[in-house]
Structure 1
Amino acid sequence: MSDLMWDERAGGIVAVVLPASGTVTIMRWWVAVVVVLAGVVALPAPAGAAGRHRVCQVRDDRLTELSGLAATGSGYVVVNDGSDLASHRKIFYLNAGCAVVRTLSYPSRPRDTEDLGIARDGTLWVADIGDNDAERGTVGLWRLAPGARAPVLYRLSYPDGAHDAEALLIAPSGTPIIVTKSVAAAGVYVPVRPPTAGRTTPLRRVGRVALPVTTTSNPFSFAGRLVITGGAVSPDGRFAVLRTYADAFEFDVSGGDVVAAVTAGRPRAVAMPDEPQGESVAYTTDGTALLTVSEGSDPVILRYPLPGRLAVASPSATRAPPSSARPSAPESARVAAAGHDKDVISFGAILTGAILVVGALFLILIGALRRRR
């Protein structure tokens, strides 16, 4: 497998190490790297990091691979990503001080839980969608209705082959939306019908997300700005956020159409520099700030305020449906033409001139990132 060497001061990739048996020479990889990077014009690091502060630190040996986070009225809900330890494969409830107060087991073994979200009716969705090697025939969503004793598994299948994904968005309608971890332009997928337990529901591709480029520092340098690792929708349904290892990008949602917002809207960037391995993002229950947590031992929940944002009441804290409630119809597939201003540079525009060689670079980047869940 190929390895990368990164140097932030040098602007990214400084060396590519290939196995001795590789059929592609270092020179050919360097050509691909130079061509792509020559066309990249990075935006300055966005504002936002200056106001962040530590909320609390998680001190539990079971919580070392945190990949999903949601806020509740009394604390937080978190999940690890794929783990070989049964003690880690649970839904964990934390109090306001980040101490574990309750756990909930899955009725069967999940494969790779990467994100979670709470719908407006209080339903918890856990996204079992990780697939580092892109080999799964189906992915899963675990649905925990208010008052239920165990989550229910819904299996889903992509229309165009396996994908690795780490981001889940729950639309105001209750529709789950999966955003893949594809390099450059992530795919956006929704179920073709309300998911049903006991059978596989097809997914439908409804668009793609092309995020702006920044220079925000992070442990993975250039590669860390290329992939989406988490997502969330605000409690009032008016905003949606997607994050990379370096930044969060918030979109305005009109009429509850989250798909249109993330595929055609212009995002506002919030810098999240130098998080150890940031894979989670959530809104506070009043919608005035973003919360994040990284993988690793004794992780810290961080809070990033959203200036000028008015506090809202969390719908999930005020009403909850019977446990038999079903998810709503799929989110709209309407995707308007993207209208980014001139100062926002999408990945699609940046990589157009290097399309013939960019595949080779992506293989290197993916190989490096897959070793980091």
Structure 2
Amino acid sequence: MNPRHTRQLMFVLLTALMLVVVAAALLDRAEATPSQPRVTISDPRVTESSGLAVSTDEPGLAYTVNDSGNAAEVFAIDLASGDVVGVTTVRAQFRDVEALALRDGTLWIADVGDNRAERDDTALYAIDEPGRRTATVGAERHPVRLPGGPADVEALLAAPDSDELVVVTKALAGAEALSVRESELGREPATFTRVATDLPALVTDGAFSPDGSRVALLSYGALWTVDPADWSIVGSQSLPPLRQAETVAFTADDTVVVGSEGEDSPLVTLTLDPEPASLGSPATVATDQPATEPTTEPTAAPAPADEGDGSRAIRLGGVGLAGVAVGALAAWRLRSRTRSAGSRRAIR
């Protein structure tokens, strides 16, 4: 395909995607239970919070980081006040950090954001947990690769009592959970292994509960609860109004803090709904067989259990808008080709 046409196709597809996201987010916000922020991060240095990790060693302390285009800094946040109580400058060149995970005194920083799915320099950085201090530190850099080639990733999860690190791709359909062991990381690129597919769409962050019994996956309009044993979705709930939900971390086995990008970003505490029976079949769990293209259509993530006819109508309407946009592009390209062919015949 002509590069110019490729850019036009990507633009239209992204526009269609945003129509779906906005329609779903508006609906979810309208249905969400009102909630007051736990705290608000008002520090002017934190405007694009895109990762969150809660300390297990220092009660009431969390860490966040800005995403692309910002300095390589980790901010320590007091969860009682929202104040920045420490800034750790990392001697590294971050490109697009999108997630944090904390385990056994090591803070993992995921420089894996890739909106255009074109990066060949994605990496995980490891530093000692900073605590409430301001300092400059070095970091261990571990280059990583995805098994299917470049893809956007905004979630990093550290399984407790394990050396497993999991990322979840951000996709409109067929999102994947990918795993790598700390022991596999080094100076040479380590390739993740698929552990599950067909996860919820547009995952912006995720986390393991402290006891490892559940996983929380965040999207723009909903919080999904997943059983890490088979990656089946066991619950979902709408979010309170947030500008752009980007961060989630557990503060207890059944409680999470959800945050947003933007200035004066709130951190909202949510209690996970009691786990009902699985909302659907488990995600497709990967095997040791070589990766192949799926032979069936990806299964869309189930809607929240309390979703009514109006909710489904709006979501389907969003998908319809996406279809209209793609159809319009196809018609435009066909018309352009016809005109081009006519011009060439006239010249001849």
1:129 aligns with 2:129: no
Distance in 2 (alpha carbons) for counterparts of 1:190 and 1:113: 18
Q: Distance in 1 between matches of 2:302 and 2:118?
A: 38
The equivalent residue for 1:244 is 219
Candidates 90, 93, 100, aligned match of 1:106: 90
Do structure 1's residue 117 and structure 2's residue 101 form an aligned pair? yes
Is 1:154 paired with 2:137? no
Q: 1:287 to 1:112 in 2, by over 3 A?
A: same
Partners of 2:158 and 2:66 lie apart in 1 by: 19
The CA deviation at 1:47 is: 11
1:87-236 correspondence to structure 2 within 5 Å:
89-96=72-79, 97-119=81-103, 121-146=104-129, 149-172=137-160, 173-191=162-180, 194-211=183-200, 226-236=201-211
How far apart, CA to CA, are the structure 1 residues paired with 2:186 and 2:47?
Answer: 30
Give 1:177 deviation, angstroms: 0.8
Alignment partner of 1:266 is 2:249: no
RMSD of aligned C-alpha atoms?
Answer: 4.2
Structure with max Cα Rg = 2
> Kindly, what percent of the aligned residue pairs are identical?
28
Give the aligned partner of residue 67 of structure 1: 50
Q: Which structure's residues are more often helix, by fraction?
A: 2
Q: Is 1:50 aligned with 2:33?
A: yes
Q: Distance in 2 between matches of 1:21 and 1:116?
A: 33
Alignment of 1:328-339 (within 5 A): 333=286
Q: Report whether the alignment pairs 1:275 with 2:242.
A: yes
Answer whether contact 2:163 2:181 (CA < 8 A) is retained: no
Tell me the secondary structure at the aligned position of residue 144 of structure 1: strand
Cα 1:204–1:358 change in 2 (3 A) is: farther
The answer to whether residue 256 in structure 2 is matched with residue 290 in structure 1 is: yes
* Runs of 4+ deviating beyond 6 Å: 19-24, 340-345
d(CA) in 2 for partners of 1:23 and 1:141? Answer: 32
Q: Deviations over 1:283-335 (max 9, x none)?
A: 11x223121111111111111123569xxxxxxxxxxxxxxxxxxxxxx9559
Question: RCO greater where, 1 or 2, for CA within 8 Å and sep 6 or more?
Answer: 1
Q: Residues 48 and 304 of structure 1 are in contact (CA less than 8 Å); yes or no, is this contact kept in structure 2?
A: no
Q: Is 1:78–2:64 an aligned residue pair?
A: yes
Give structure 2 stretches of 5+ with no counterpart: 132-136, 276-284, 289-298, 308-315, 330-348
Instruction: Give the distance between the partners of 2:196 and 2:173, measured in 1 at CA.
Output: 13
Change (3 A) 1:61 1:251: same
8 Å Cα contact 1:67-1:79 kept in structure 2: yes
Deviations along 1:33-67, one digit per CA (max 9) or x if unpaired, are 8xxx9xxx99x959994263311111211100001
How many equivalent residue pairs? 276
Secondary structure, in 3 states, of the residue corresponding to 1:235? coil
**1:209-228 per-position Cα deviation (integer Å, ceiling 9, x unaligned):** 333xxxxxxxxxxxxxx411
On the 8 A contact 2:33/2:240 being kept in 1, the answer is: no
Contact 2:235–2:304 (Cα < 8 Å) also in 1: no
Contact kept, 8 Å, 1:138 with 1:158, in 2: the verdict is no
5+ residue gaps in structure 1?
1-18, 212-225, 310-331, 364-373
TM value normalised by structure 2: 0.67
Structure 2 distance, partners of 1:162, 1:193, is 21
